[in-house]
Every structure is written in structure tokens, then in C-alpha cells.
Amino acid sequence: MELWEHGALRQGDLARRVGSDAATMTRSVKRLEQAGFVRRSPSPTDRRSVLVEPTAASIALRDQVEAVWAELERTVTGDLTPDERDQALASLNRLEQSLSLHSATSAEPTADC
């Protein structure tokens, strides 16, 4: 979805945007490339970087994926008012930030491990 919205991205930037580590992103991109949904190519401006871009096959699925997400959102939010949905999303975003911060700081090995 990030690639649909922003076009080709460096693989490292894509990992940061979706909150993934480099190894996980490499495996995910490899699987998506094998399935024909993304294409990897060397960055023309940075030889160390790889650009990832959506393929025509991926773009063809965009409407279907967005419809599934919209249906899931309707199912999850049920009869919440727009204000209640906004509050829930704000709370979930704060929880995600807390988890991201915690996982970033706890990823460092400690002397106790």
C-alpha cells in the first residue's frame, strides 16, 4: 500500500515507513517479487540502495485490497460514531508508538541476557 501511495521507494525507507526491520523487509520484498507484485532495481543515485516499486499486477489488485480493508474497517468499527472512531484510532496510534519505542529500546542486548 505504501508503494501504491508513494511509488518506488528505497527498501530501507519502505522498512521504516511500515515499521519493519531490514531482514524482515528483505524477506517480504523477495516473496512479493517472486509473486510478481514488486520489482527491485538498483538505485540510480545510491549504489548501496535498492528501489522497490509496484508492478502492474500489484496495481491491478489495488481496488480489491482497498475494498477488503474498507469492509474490515466497517466490521471492526460497527456502530461507533465518527468521534468514537477517531478516539479509538488516536488511542491505537498512541499504543503503537509506545510499542515501537519499547521494541526499539529493548532490542538492544543487555548484560542480563
2-19 per-position pLDDT tens digit: 999 999 999 999 999 988
Percent helix / strand / coil, the chain, rounded to 5 = 65, 10, 25
Q: What is the pLDDT of residue 96?
A: 83
Angle between helices 11-18 and 22-34 (to 10 degrees): 110
19-53 per-position pLDDT tens digit: 888 899 999 999 999 999 999 999 898 888 999 99
CA distance 74 to 100: 26
Count how many Cα atoms sit within 13 Å of the Cα of residue 7 in the half-sphere of its side chain.
0
Task: Write b or e for each residue in 38-64: b if 16 or more Cβ atoms lie within 10 A of its Cβ, otherwise e.
Answer: bbeeeeeeeeeebbbebeeebeeeeee
Give yes or no for a contact between 36 and 54, defined as CB atoms under 8 angstroms apart.
no
pTM: 0.68
Residues recorded for the chain:
113
60-91 per-position pLDDT tens digit: 999 999 999 999 988 988 889 989 989 998 99
